[in-house]
Amino acid sequence: MRRLLLGVDLGGTNTRAAVVDAATGEVVAAHKVAHAERTPLAVVRTVAEAVRAAAGAAGVSPGSIGTAGVGVAGQVLGATGTVLNAPNLGWREVPFGDLLAAELGVRVRVVNDLSAAAWGERSFGAARGVDDALLFFVGSGVGLGLILGGRLHEGAGGVAAEVGHIKVTPRGVVPRKCGCGEWGCLEAYAGGMNLAARVRDDVAEGKATAVLAAAGDASRIGAAAVEQAYQAGDPYARELWAEVGELLGTTMANLVTLLNPARLVLGGGVLLGCPNLERISRAHLGDRASRSARKALAVVHAGLTDDGGVVGAALLGGGASAPALTVN
């Protein structure tokens, strides 16, 4: 009989719950629910509803599985299940793991969404069986999942891998404030949401660029429109991608030099949806990572694009891989 696990991807807008086959990573059933409200108790009920629906579709009950793993876009205080900070949900210090465990009557593990996705890739995706692998993600934010020595690295306080908030000081660039309230974070320059805001500001200030035309109207400005304008030869877009690609590529290079992974898994809509930005970033990675660390490295795309998060969360929640639960 196959062993089933429960995984949840808790986003700012929707929750997706899935029943996952522990041996194959297959998503047996899934259910998605939009959040009506974002208060912790409302979200607990929404998540529980999604979990029960997914379990029902797979012909099981949450109680018969006994565990659930939840990936959340935010900082999670390691083993406690407390969400320290989840900007998309407007949460600070919410004991989400305890609340959901009480509601569902199962053991719950809460992890950062990119840690979950990295563990999914390591288990059944583009980093399968690789002991030292990094998942580098550029979407609305910039994030990282760290698999080191075959284990998920969450750090002493459970908040490691916050690559979006490393400080970068690009030459010639105006310091930009990040959503976290600090100045000079990588995400302030390279995250999709901040990128879009910056281009909209530049367009509003009358800078000459084809990005607005590519987007259609200002509200649709984003990385995809910059990529389109770049492709058409727009000098503004070329300058922006040169800057952002240098920041992303240098960051990837420094991660490789520091951690010497065998696999660097790229993910996220901005990085994978903008081939020119990806090309520029990878060129800087190739130029700037230490030669000896590059020897062990393969750079690949995420393999479980939509499912990595729920699969990884399910495995981590179920303790399907024992070492992952013994970190710290």
Contacts with its own copies, residue ranges (CB under 8 A): 75, 84-85, 130-132, 144, 146, 148-151, 153-163, 165-167, 169-172, 180, 182, 184, 250, 253-255, 257-262, 288, 290, 292-293, 295-297, 327-328
Nearer to its own copies, 167 or 301 (CB): 167
Nearer to its own copies, 1 or 322 (CB): 322
Q: Which tokens hold the place of 196?
A: 């879009």
Direct distance between the N- and C-terminal alpha carbons of the chain, in angstroms, rounded to an integer: 32
Whether 76 and 82 have beta carbons less than 8 Å apart is answered as yes
Report, in Å, the least distance between residue 287 CB and its own copies: 9
Q: What share of the chain is helix, strand, coil (3-state, %, to 5)?
A: 45, 20, 30
Report, in Å, the least distance between residue 288 CB and its own copies: 5
The greatest distance separating any two alpha carbons of the chain, rounded to the nearest whole angstrom, comes to: 64
| Cα(135)–Cα(197) distance, integer angstroms | 25
**Under 8 Å CB-to-CB from 276, ≥6 apart: which residues?**
227, 230, 231, 241
Which has the closest alpha carbon to 145: 170, 129, 164?
164
Q: Which tokens hold the place of 169?
A: 């000081």
Nearer to its own copies, 184 or 273 (CB): 184
Report, in Å, the least distance between residue 149 CB and its own copies: 5
Nearer to its own copies, 57 or 84 (CB): 84
- Measure Cα distances from 184 to 165, 195, 204 in Å: 8, 13, 23
Nearer to its own copies, 180 or 203 (CB): 180
Nearer to its own copies, 53 or 166 (CB): 166
Element (H, E) at 321: none
| Cα(281)–Cα(230) distance, integer angstroms | 15
